[in-house]
Structure 1
Amino acid sequence: MDISASSCNLETRDTVLYRPEACDDSGAIARVVVPATLFRISEPPWLLVEEGFTLAREHEIESLFAIGNGYIGNRGSLAEGSPLSAPATFLAGIFEHSDQPGSIPQLMTLPDWTEVRVWIDDHPLSMQEGEIIEHRRILDFARGVLWREWRHRDKNGRVTRLLAFRLTSLADRHLLLQSVIVVAENYSATMRFESSIEVPRSALPAPSRWKARRSPERPNVLPLALKCPGLDIEIAFGAASQLLTTTASVGERLVEMDERHIVERFQLKVTVGTECHLHRLVSVYSSRDLEDPFDAAVAHVNRVLPSRISEAVSAHETAWNSRWQHSDIRVEGDDSLQRALRFAVYHLISAANPEDSHVSIGARALTGEAYKGHVFWDTEIFMLPFYTYTDPACARALLTYRYHTLEAAREKARRAGFAGAMYPWESADTGEETTPRAVIAPSGEVISVLNGELEIHITADIAYAVWQYWQGTGDDDFFAQFGSEITLETARFWASRGRMEADGRYHLRQVIGPDEYHENVDDNTFTNLMAAWNLVRGAETAGWLRAKRPDRWRELEHRLQLSDQELRMWSHLAEVMYTIFDPKTLLYEQFAGYYQKEAIDLKKFEPRTAAMDVILGHERINHTNVVKQADVVMALYLLWSQIPADVRRANFLYYEPRTGHGSSLSPSMHALVAARLGEAHLAGQYLKQAAQIDLGNNMGNAAGGVHAAAIGGLWQAVVFGLGGLEVDGSGLSFTPHLVESCRQLAFPFCWRERQLEVSITHHKLQVAVQGPGPLQLRVAGGAETLAQPGHTYVVERANRGWSSWHRLDS
């Protein structure tokens, strides 16, 4: 994607505009000054630019250029549409439920609020007709704004220039803004704008699905409320538009409303050089937010409408700037990696909402329909660390969603015959299991899906994320109120899921590990290690509650009917948990019988054109030793401190060449572990692969939305891999391993209310500390210092190790 600075020609001047007479209810011709700051754009390293227009790539581009604020997401589709456009707006937590047998909930596609069509003397301005002189879409990461520039020559030689932007406000999450500026470069004509809010096309075959709430038009505010039969949810839109031009003129405004859409038409005469500015403000509420979303949406528009659009944009930019101050990673020497990281952080910020603890982030966030918007382990293991260490409020909200769905997890465990809480592999709004029973593979093969029953490691993954958040933030209130109960109930599940056998060991049979090529296996190493970890943490949680929050402990002890005998059993089961470890080779067998699988040399399939399960087929892949994604390698990372260094190295070097990376989650984890092991060349290769999951569409399915876990994994690979950062209860440790292309790495990091600025080169590590108190800093397992807030500490490489820390201002 071209991102040269010369390709971004946005306005840089204040513009005096007039509201055409008869285009609003006042009948007056108003004079408005649109400031140049409204059209400010960031420097090229902060931009993603798509030059030209390729119809076949439209779905993919719409995903990459999506905008969002954690409450609402909008794909980056063309305002006028195209034959292959898939415009979509999503509200977090709004899932469509069907009463058809076997159906599962899916993230609801809401009316498209961005549709704007321009007509020149009754001829539509279209990418499919005439000549595209220039066209580009620009996603400004820094400001959270999607821009579009388009110059078009029609069959009559008339040249029209269009400049547009849209945003979903990060300062006011219910507020959406859109501006479309059209210039008649060389002609005079009648110009017509049609802006609309349309019921999604996918709903048209079943029009009864949406029911509009009729209402008399409010002055300059067009309301539309929609209710989906079968759901006790109402969604309301309030829209206000303003047409301004550079010349005082007479215009016409018409409004059309029915139960499927709102259409607002502006028509006026233009002459050579006339600029027409259409500004739209849309407010969205649902009955998840409050009892009457209809009145709320209209009132919201009326509150915002009197202020200039530039003020709303300014507030949005301020909110984005604040988030970037706490999350931007700076890389010197590798522009491609720098852009990929900002792309990742942009979409992670866009995906989360700290104000709503009843929703989580789906596998494709709010950027596409893939996986039906369902929540997987992706959120807790791949995305959550970013929020824990840059925006703890978001992390807290995401984990509280798991608390609110704890009862559904208990019910799933009860139905399966187990105790405690068994979290679903796929989750939506209620926390019930939403994994489909069958899917159609890329090869066309119908495959039974067992993950909902057998991929149980997600239960330990959630407990792990709870503990990681608690250790990283010191949020005792969260852990006492929410996290402790999750940890106790998940530990109880593991104590009931397996069984003690004749060998005196505790076995977990019939599971699926992260390597989903191998189903219904026994004693998957990742699952067993994580289950043992969960059991230990469950017992420790009880001890902490007894000592620190005795009232909460007594309440949980009574309600959950916990006993000392049960707690002792958890510790015992963790000690006797079966793992297939060979002390001679230092290897964990991934699961019982893995070594007997058919050996496949993956190098013989390079360059690979498809995932290995497509190449070999679903049935055969199960009988090979090809690993879909990081499995044992994933355990090495998550349980790093409890696995000896020589064991970590042996297992990585064994499983790495056997892993096919059939999941977008895999490359980043391999980059991370390779970096920590000092395998710089491998780390660099995997880092590039991880960076191109979406930007290079190297999985071939970016059309379904951005891979949220992959971008979360990329952040972790850089911070915890290249930066070598490890977190524990007492402080931070660093073992930096920069790849060759990276001269310097710098990033902010939040630990227990301390704000750190970390800077790493191949020769030096520097950490600036701000916050309420000191923290322990260590490097490469050696030199350490008690860092005081308000100071900067430096340590330099010396021979093969590191020197002692010293304070810069001492």
Structure 2
Amino acid sequence: MKQYLKLDDWSVIEEDFNPEHHEISESVFSIGNGHMGQRANFEETYSGSSLQGSYMAGVYYPDKTRVGWWKNGYPEYFAKVLNSTNWIGLKVVIDNEELDLNIAKVSDFVRELNMKEGYLKRSFTAELSGGKKIKVATCRFVSMKVREAGALRYAITPLNFDGELTLTSYLDGDVKNTDANYDEKFWDPVDETVSNESATVIIKTKKLNFHMASTMINEYFQNGQKLTPEVKVAKREKYTSQEVVLPLKQNEETSVVKVAANVTNRDHDTSSLGEVAQRVCRSAMEKGFDRLLSEQKEAWAKKWETSDIVIEGDVSAQQGIRFNIFQLNQTYTGEDDRLNIGPKGFTGEKYGGSTYWDTEAYCLPFYLSTSDQNIARNLLVYRYKHLEKARENARKLGFTKGALYPMVTMNGEECHNEWEITFEEIHRNGAIAYAIYNYVNYTADRDYLGEYGVEVLAEISRFWEERVHFVNPKAVYMMHGVTGPNEYENNVNNNWYTNRIAAWTLEYTLEALAHVNETDPKRYEALINKLDLTEEETSKWSDIIDKMYYPVDEESGIFLQQDGYMDKEQIHVSELDEKHLPLNQNWSWDRILRSCFIKQADVLQGLYFLNSEFDIETKKRNFDFYEPRTVHESSLSPCVHSILACELGYREKAYEMYLRTARLDLDNYNNDTEDGCHTTSMAGTWMSVVHGFGGLKVQSDRLVLNPFIPGQWNAFSFKVLYRKARLNVQVTKEQVVVRNETDEKVDLTIGEEQFTLEGKEEIRTAMKK
């Protein structure tokens, strides 16, 4: 765990440059706007260790699967989010010496991610050979207002000399992915054009025919006055540049403003990409850097208006939650229903940047409560549009009916190639079904069931129907050969969570069908005909519900993670020497599989999802047993534990788990932030506050709050959008204040008290002790 970032309410700040931290910082200080994103690579040359990354939403590459032993059903490819044209690049040469922070003596280094206003700035002093010193100040952002544009300002001030600056601004599409399976480059050249006014690079993927055009325009200034220097242009395959030579005077600032546009044929006609990129870039540059930055600040102010969480008295916790909210807001905006939320967002390449079950299980609640409900709806419609692919995925694995949603995807097709996950981690289907329930329960948009939801639910239920098998001697249905959420157990029989979420899906599907039949009989009849759904099938589902097998340890009264779990040597994580942690970086895989240790919430995931089905004592018994055996080496683990600990009154454990999820990347808990931030788990941080400390639930069409405040905090507050109403919830050690900021009334329960909160009304109630 590397704690080197300064604590601040609204910024992430790095003081002093340490190359050992650089790749971690490249992830943490990433910027994005839902359309594109950029790791915090330096603009100038850096010869040290770096993961260069500039990413475009929805643009990917089907990298050929790399495995030692091919198995029937393996996907042909693993979808990679593509490292694309480097638009920030500057080559800075001072008196024939290139600026390189891996070589120069660096002092006064400060890097700041301003989360409130959405920009990254950096300053430092560099001493070159011969003792020449320069001060550099940079600022850049990708625009929330002009989503296809990014801008930077790079300023140099010589501190102890007069000299000459040779500045080369470039676009470089000759890039590769760090995670390329066969070390190949994924882009081919299309066109390069460059003039004194602008430069453009157009590239295309070697497969799938994605085209991307990038255009840059540069303007130069000294002491605030615009310059018109002579420009030397150059181009080669997938590269264009503009070079200027400028005099430097001691203590006088020389700067370049660079605006770039990145457009793809996902949004525009392929033949016109170059023209579109030119038009977007010119329009942005006409606004100028200061106006673009002002628009950026305004756009982020609107984001924070509905999604901010305020924590008083604990700067570490405050910074953590805002960092997570910031990354979520710059990763996915909901404007494009073809997009989803990659587990690394725009911060790195690991995991392929594709869609996982993380979206439905962890991200959906954030967007439900902080954005217009159509944004959350789009996340569900995304899966509906992939239903046919999910059916194909099931057929590839030998199923005759039903749909199996992929573990990893870009277009609905499975592209994950680890057998124990691709073939066995089928609980992902349950998360898709649960997301439909969660959305409908929260928004009361029950029309969604007839429009889209029932089709998805029915096909998932058909998959479960075929995946279980009936055991005659015991008269129960079982599921063998699965991997639950705890990936430190593979190929197990009767994973409790998988069995339970499967049976629950069948239950909810029958409820959804009944609702559509009752409210819209014509639509119901059309769905039955479209799905060719028979009474025989639905009767079978009821039978599976009634006779599903759940492993239980009778002596302790806990739900067994899977058959045989108690046969393992039972050890608590606290008994391990710290040198063994994290296990996945210190133990062989077979040793992990033989141990009792748990990667993330598994049984507890079920208790979290299906919370109202279990009494408090059942939750307590299972939490007390499983949490001490959990190493939390999945980024998705701490938030579930924090929420359950809140409900159980385990205040210190709740806070410990919250801080771990909130600062997972800022403090590099799992020693892997250099690969990219854990974007999808960041929604779990929000859930830890709102669902955990705030105790927010929706039960019987009432919004329920059951808050408590950690001892480390003086107060906290959050806002939630709930069925067209926006509520501001403030919690102190003495009272809970809920203010309705809209005209929509809300039925509300706080603790044991019930209220009807009228429009613009405020209620106050004492905190329970």
How does the TM-score come out when normalised to structure 1? Answer: 0.88
In the TM superposition, residue 318 of structure 1 has moved relative to its aligned partner by: 1.4
For residue 378 of structure 1, the aligned residue among 358, 383, 390 is: 358
Q: Secondary structure at the match of 2:736?
A: strand
3-state DSSP of counterpart to 2:9:
helix
2:405 corresponds to which letter in structure 1?
Y
Structure possessing the higher relative contact order (Cα contacts under 8 Å, 6 or more residues apart):
2
Q: Distance in 1 between matches of 2:177 and 2:543?
A: 55
- Which residue does 1:676 correspond to in 2? 647
Moved >6 Å (runs of 4+): 1-5, 203-208
Q: CA deviation at 1:756?
A: 0.7
Q: Using a 3 Å threshold, how does the CA distance of structure 1 residues 122 and 614 change in structure 2: closer, same or farther?
A: closer
Q: Residue deviations 1:197-227, cap 9 Å, x none?
A: 1125437998884333336546723221101
The one-letter code sitting in structure 1 at the alignment partner of 2:435 is A
Q: Say whether the 8 Å CA contact 1:588–1:651 is kept in structure 2.
A: yes
Alignment gaps of 5+ in structure 1: 6-43, 438-448, 801-810
Paired with 1:209 and 1:347, the residues of 2 have a C-alpha distance of 27
The correspondence for 1:397, drawn from 375, 378, 382, is: 378
Spell out, residue by residue over 1:668-711, the C-alpha distance to the aligned partner (whole angstroms, 9 max, x if none): 22111111110112112222222331111110110110012332
In 2, the alpha carbon distance for the partners of 1:368 and 1:579 equals: 39
Following superposition of structure 1 onto structure 2, how do residues 554-633 of structure 1 map, counting pairs within 5 Å?
A: 554-581=525-552, 585-633=556-604
| Residue 429 (structure 2) pairs with residue 432 (structure 1) | no
C-alpha distance in 2, partners of 1:207/1:631? 38
2:320 partner amino acid:
A
Evaluate the alpha carbon distance shift between residue 45 and residue 501 of structure 1 in structure 2; reply closer, same or farther with a 3 A threshold.
Answer: same
| Pick aligned residue for 2:337 from 325, 332, 357 | 357
- Name the SS for the 1:128 alignment partner: coil
Mapping of residues 790-805 of structure 1, within 5 Å: 790-797=760-767
Deviation at 1:346, TM superposition (A): 0.7
**1:75 is matched by which residue type in structure 2?**
R
- The alpha-carbon distance between structure 1 residues 393 and 77, as it changes in their structure 2 partners (threshold 3 A), is farther
Contact 1:332–1:742 (CA<8 Å) still a contact in 2? yes
Corresponding residue for residue 630 of structure 2: 659
For residue 51 of structure 2, what is the amino acid of its counterpart?
A
Q: C-alpha distance in 2, partners of 1:414/1:650?
A: 40
Q: Does 1:704 align with 2:684?
A: no
Q: Distance in 1 between matches of 2:104 and 2:78?
A: 44
- For 1:203 and 1:657, the matched residues in 2 are separated by 39
User: Which residue of the partner structure matches residue 789 of structure 1?
Assistant: 759
What is the correspondence of 1:209-224 to structure 2 with a 5 Å cutoff?
Answer: 209-214=186-191, 216-217=193-194, 220-224=197-201
Residues 218-257 of structure 1: pairs in structure 2 closer than 5 A: 220-246=197-223, 251-257=229-235
Work out the percentage of aligned pairs sharing the same amino acid: 27
Equivalent-residue separation in structure 2 for 1:305 and 1:269 (angstroms): 24
Give CA deviations for 1:92-132 in whole Å, capped at 9, x if unaligned. Answer: 22111245775422111102111112221221122133432
Provide the C-alpha distance between the structure 2 equivalents of 1:685 and 1:517, rounded to a whole number of angstroms: 23
Q: Deviations over 1:759-803 (max 9, x none)?
A: 1122211111133532211123x21111112111111136x5xxx
CA distance in 1, matches of 2:710, 2:32: 32
- In the alignment, which residue of structure 2 is the partner of 1:803? none
Judged with a 3 Å threshold, the aligned counterparts in structure 2 of structure 1 residues 146 and 653 are, in CA distance, closer, same or farther, namely same
**Secondary structure in structure 2 of the residue aligned to 1:746:** strand
Contact 1:109/1:200 (<8 A) preserved:
no
Change (3 A) 1:143 1:230: same
After TM superposition, give the deviation of residue 319 of structure 1 in Å. 1.4
CA contact (8 A) 2:220 2:226 kept: no
CA contact (8 A) 2:558 2:622 kept: yes
Q: Using the alignment, how far apart are the partners of 2:647 and 2:368 within structure 1?
A: 21
Matches for 1:251-650 after TM superposition, within 5 Å: 251-292=229-270, 293-391=273-371, 392-418=373-399, 419-427=401-409, 429-437=410-418, 449-476=419-446, 478-502=448-472, 503-581=474-552, 585-650=556-621
Q: Which runs of 5+ in 2 are unaligned?
A: 67-75
Residues 388, 273 of structure 1: alpha-carbon distance in 2 compared, 3 angstrom cutoff: same
Residues 243, 266 of structure 1: 8 Å contact kept = no
* Structure 2 partner of 1:141: 115
Q: List per-residue Cα deviations over 1:578-616 (Å, max 9, x = no partner).
A: 212357643111111111122223222143542235545
- Structure 2 distance, partners of 1:208, 1:534, is 43
**Bigger mean CA deviation after superposition, 228-237 or 212-221:** 212-221
Hey, what's the Cα distance between the residues in 1 that align with 2:191 and 2:150? 22
2:28 aligned with 1:48, yes or no? no
Cα separation, 1, equivalents of 2:654 and 2:497: 22
- Which of the residues 142, 153, 164 maps onto 2:138? 164
Instruction: Provide closer, same or farther for how the CA distance between residues 109 and 216 of structure 1 changes in structure 2, counting only shifts above 3 A.
Output: closer
1:97 counterpart = 2:59 = no
1:60 aligns with 2:24: yes
Computed over aligned residues only, the root mean square deviation of the Cα atoms, in angstroms, reads 2.3
Match of 1:152 among 116, 126, 138: 126
Q: CA deviation at 1:550?
A: 4.1
Indicate how the Cα distance of structure 1 residues 618 and 207 shifts in structure 2: closer, same or farther if over 3 A, else same: closer
Contact 2:220 2:228 in 1 (8 A): no
Report the Cα distance in structure 2 between the residues aligned to 1:248 and 1:687, rounded to whole angstroms: 50
Give the secondary-structure state (helix, strand or coil) at the position aligned to 1:45: coil
Secondary structure of 2:113's aligned partner: strand
- Kindly state the Cα deviation for residue 48 of structure 1 after the two structures are TM-superposed: 0.5
CA contact 2:738–2:763 (8 Å) conserved in 1: yes
In the TM superposition, residue 566 of structure 1 has moved relative to its aligned partner by 2.5
In structure 2, the residue corresponding to 1:76 is in which secondary structure? coil
Q: What is the aligned length?
A: 748
What TM-score comes out, normalization by structure 2 length? 0.93
Using the TM superposition, name which of 196-205 and 507-516 deviates more.
196-205
Residues 193 and 201 of structure 2 are in contact (CA less than 8 Å); yes or no, is this contact kept in structure 1?
A: no
* C-alpha contact (below 8 Å) 1:217/1:223 kept by paired residues: yes
The 5 Å alignment of 1:112-191 reads 112-191=86-165
Alpha-carbon separation, structure 2, partners of 1:593 and 1:478? 41
